[in-house]
Chain A
Amino acid sequence: MTEARSDLLTLVLGICAFLIVATVIGQVLQRRLSPDRSNASIENLNARINAWWVMVALIGIAFLAGRAGVIVLFAFCSFAALREFVTLTRTRRADHWALAAAFFVVLPVQYYLVATDWYGLYAIFIPVYAFLLMPIAAVLRGDTERFLDRVAEVQWALMICVFCISHVPALLTLQIPGYEGRNVLLIAFLVIVVQMSDVLQYVWGKLFGRTRIAPRLSPSKTVEGFLGGVASATLIGAALWWITPFTPLQAGLLALVVTLMGFFGGLVMSAIKRDRGVKDWGHIVEGHGGLIDRLDSVIFSAPVFFHIVRYGWSLA
């Protein structure tokens, strides 16, 4: 336990030092190059840094509150993400009960199952039971207009915003021999690697980006940014092996999987935004996009990371 605490403390101090340096650089760049806030890249960078401070503060508070705190925090993330997602769906009045059930039944039940460590049920609750029951709630209203579209959208909203996000706090329930009491560091590992991958892809792209990787989805993403970002985030993941139950090689490989899932997750979420004609999912922080914009890569990597660790390292 003490070892876990000291690891956590080292990590928190390291992150704070990193963020202070990043904040200072961001402010200096802004004073020098963008005093009137006209340089979009610098504003974007500072927006990210501010979002990280908020993220670190929230996660820190949740970690101090223990398992219950982390689960409640991510349940609220799911709520805010689901609110953003459903806002962009084309639901009709007949979906009212299905949507009410998504917010006020499915979401709390999923997090309750995670909290009680009922893996056998929370792994299939949304993919099977919500999948079958939600269209029943919708069909009882008798409105067949775009029926398949509507039920598919609600199911997708639940998978992305509740099922996937709930796999982040589910990391706390894994029983890994020799790693007792330190599971919170797995969350830290996942979030740090994914966030670093996001920002390093951005930085590499800005510095060396030539070839667009998906011009129709995300004009700012480049092959150079992708390769540089994934490679450096993989190295960062390997370097963080000491907070995980993995060897440096394993940590690096897991970081690679997580960054790849995160990258493609970002593309998928961009495609949905394009389809709906919006730039951001929401506006949880004024001018800085929505919660899903900040979490899209974590959303896609969390279940995969969870299952690899569960099958590779966990007893249960």
Chain B
Amino acid sequence: MATDTDVASPDRTSADTHRRGRHPIAGPVSTLILLFARAVTAVRANWSPAGPPARQHVYFANHSSHGDFILIWTVLPPRERRRTRPVAGAEYWLKSRLTRFIGRDVFNAVLIERQQETRSEDPVARMAGTLDEGASLILFPEGTRNQTEDPLLPFKSGLYHLSRLRPDVELVPVWISNLNRVMPKGEFVPIPLICTVTFGEPLRVHADEPKQDFLDRARAALLSLSPHTDTAA
């Protein structure tokens, strides 16, 4: 399924599945971003009773801001952080040299093509391939940033298909709270506010579970982590 000789983005696979070709200042830049995220949000993790994750996981989270995965990354224990890669839209992150540097070198994102008509590679197969290399993934199953008043948009089906392909990897719901207030869409000055990242109990797709049932169950698991006080728009 995965074609490494794709003409649309020729060096994609080699650059973002291995960190060998990483830009020399990508490391310091990522440290700076983590420090900045802590200074602005004083972010704290609420772990599930099992404690901080030690095994390979697929984290799936609510998505309202570009900083979402940075917060998850910030609170993960360093060992887990190093192997955790966000799944992000290629068309956004390959737009300019700067976003390419941030997306690929700094965040080591798994860049997938979202447009079904034009894409040359199946995103789910690519995510599965990344899991096979030992990485953990951060996935935003809403598919896009949520700008509505609803707490959570309907899920896209990628989470289900990925879990079918790699049933041994547990899916962990992660609720990110308050970050949408720190930097709403269209603003460029972040407001310092305390954010929390809440990790739920891991779940897996059942052997004969229908797609929609699983997606509903996963969505409910994520929603159940949202704090009741988090009502501010």
Contacts and interface: CB of A to CB of B under 8 A. Distances in A.
B199 to A, nearest CB: 16
Given A91-B232, A92-B233, A283 B194 contact: yes
Contacts of B44: 283, 286
A277 B233 CA distance: 17
A284 to B, nearest CB: 7
A96 B191 contact: yes
A274 interface: no
A282 B42 CA distance: 9
A64 to B, nearest CB: 24
B189 A87 contact: no
A278 B177 CA distance: 15
Contacts of B187: 96
A82 B192 contact: yes
Interface in B91-128: none
Contacts of A96: 184, 187, 189, 191
Contact of A90 (B178, B184, B228, B232): B232
Contact of B232 (A79, A83, A92, A284): A92
A73 interface: no
A84 B41 CA distance: 10
Interface in A55-87: 79-80, 82-84, 86-87
Contact of A87 (B194, B228, B231): B194
- In this complex, the member of B181, B189, B191 whose beta carbon has the largest number of chain A beta carbons within 10 angstroms is B191
Nearest to A102: B191
B48 to A, nearest CB: 17
Interface in B173-203: 178, 181, 184, 187, 189, 191-194
A103 interface: yes
A104 interface: yes
B5 interface: no
Nearest to B46: A283
Interface in A272-306: 276-278, 282-284, 286
B185 to A, nearest CB: 9
A277 B192 contact: no
A104 B232 contact: no
Contacts of B229: 276-278
B23 to A, nearest CB: 31
B44 to A, nearest CB: 5
A124 interface: no
A100 interface: yes
Given A80-B42, A283-B44, A86 B232 contact: no
B233 A99 contact: no
- In this complex, the member of A83, A89, A92 whose beta carbon has the largest number of chain B beta carbons within 10 angstroms is A83
A160 B233 CA distance: 24
Contacts of A278: 229
B191 A99 contact: yes
Given A92-B232, A284-B42, A84 B194 contact: yes
B161 to A, nearest CB: 35
Contacts of B232: 89-92
Interface in A92-106: 92-93, 96, 99-100, 103-104
B233 A103 contact: no
B194 A282 contact: yes
Contacts of B189: 96, 100, 104
Given A96-B187, A99-B191, A103-B192, A83 B231 contact: no
B75 to A, nearest CB: 12
B192 A83 contact: yes
A65 B181 CA distance: 36
A99 B233 CA distance: 15
- In this complex, the member of B192, B228, B229 whose beta carbon has the largest number of chain A beta carbons within 10 angstroms is B192
A91 B192 CA distance: 13
Contacts of A104: 189
A298 to B, nearest CB: 20
Contact of B193 (A87, A90, A284): A87
23 contacts: A80-B42, A82-B192, A83-B192, A83-B194, A86-B191, A87-B193, A89-B232, A90-B232, A91-B232, A92-B232, A92-B233, A93-B184, A96-B184, A96-B187, A96-B191, A99-B191, A103-B191, A276-B229, A277-B228, A282-B194, A283-B42, A283-B194, A284-B42
Given A91-B181, A282-B194, 9 more contacts: A83-B193, A90-B231, A96-B189, A104-B189, A277-B229, A278-B229, A282-B42, A283-B194, A284-B42
Interface of A: 79-80, 82-84, 86-87, 89-93, 96, 99-100, 103-104, 276-278, 282-284, 286
